Amino acid sequence: MSEVRGIGATEFPSKRDGWLEAVVWSGAIVSLGAGLAVHATPLSATGRAAVFLACAASGGFGLWVLYSTRYVFDGPLLRISSGPFRFRVPLAEIDFVAPTRSPLSSPACSLDRLEIRWRSGSRPILISPEDRPAFLRELQRRCTHLSFMGERATRYTHDSDSSS
């Protein structure tokens, strides 16, 4: 009996909170401004270029993470990407899914999040799919071992599975 159905890839971009976009864009602009301001310092041309590149890269990093965060159902996996960060969640190992507004660091660009716990995961991962109802429908379609109640899911257990 297979616990994971579906073979095609289905992608969901992350929802982005407006306040987070404003913070990231502000940081990118300040970083770029700092990089440009270094040209008025007595540093060597090489030093000015190095500082400018470091400032531009730090601002660009935040934008990269903000606009590249996505969740892809790909065969037996939920692949999560956010900038250079990559996570692979085996769908058959998912034990628990529930809404949360936890601000903990995670590949989610909104506080409107889903917490996912799975067997080989050292800690839960928080995600924020833009179309949460469609994401949950796809999760339900692919994970027949989960029992859904609204936006919450837990591993389905049979009475015969309990120890005697």
* Alpha-carbon 136 to chain mean position: 15
Residue type for position 7: I
pLDDT band at residue 160 using 50, 70 and 90 as cut-offs:
very low
Please say whether the beta carbons of 115 and 95 come within 8 A. Answer: no
Overall average pLDDT of the 72-89 stretch: 96
Which among 13, 27, 23 has a CA at the least distance from the CA of 128?
13
Q: Which residue has the higher pLDDT, 127 or 9?
A: 127
pLDDT over 90 (residue 161): no
Coil, strand or helix at 112: coil
Question: How many alpha carbons lie under 13 Å from residue 105 in its C-beta half-sphere?
Answer: 3
Per-residue confidence (pLDDT) for residue 5, from 0 to 100: 47
Q: Does domain 10-14+71-154 match CATH 1.10.3470?
A: no
pLDDT over 90 (residue 9): no
Count other Cβ atoms within 10 Å, centred on residue 9.
Answer: 11
- What is the length of the chain? 164
Overall average pLDDT of the 60-82 stretch: 96
